[in-house]
Amino acid sequence: DMVNVRCCVPGCSSLAAFGYEGGVLQACSLHQLDGHVLLRSKRRSDHPKGRCARVGCNLTAAYGSRFTRTRRHCHLHKTDDEVSLYARK
Ligand SMILES: [Zn+2]
Ligand SMILES: [Zn+2]
C-alpha cells in the first residue's frame, strides 16, 4: 500500500507524493527531484469536484474561504474561517 509514505528528506515529515515513474514514493512536492512524477494523484489531488476536501469524505462541499470563494469542505469539516458559499450570491 502507498498510504503514509514519508518524504525521504531528513527532517521533512510531509507525505511523499512523488517518485520515478513505476517506482516507489520518495519525496513530497517540495523535495521532488528531476524526473520525479506525481504518483499519488489518484488518491489525493484528483478529488471529485464539489466534494469535501477531507480525505474519505464524500459530502458536498458548501463551505470555503470568503476570499477565494472556493468551496472546500462540507458542514462537518469546515474550518473556523470558512463560511457557507451557498447561502449568498
Ligand atoms: Zn519533503
Ligand atoms: Zn467533509
The ligand that comes nearest to the alpha carbon of residue 55 is 2
Banded model confidence at residue 40, pLDDT cuts 50, 70, 90 = confident
Residue type, 62: A
**Nearest Cα residue to 18 out of 37, 4, 1:** 37
Contact (CB, 8 A) for 57 and 76: yes
Ligand nearest to the CA of 78: 2
CA-to-CA separations, 32 to 4, 37, 38, 57, 79, in angstroms, rounded: 16, 8, 9, 28, 29
Instruction: Find the mean pLDDT for residues 57-81.
Output: 91
- State the distance from the centre of ligand 2 to the C-alpha of 9, rounded, in angstroms: 31
Looking at per-residue pLDDT, the higher value among 87 and 66 belongs to: 66
Is residue 83 over pLDDT 90? yes
Asked whether the predicted pLDDT for residue 47 surpasses 60, the reply is no
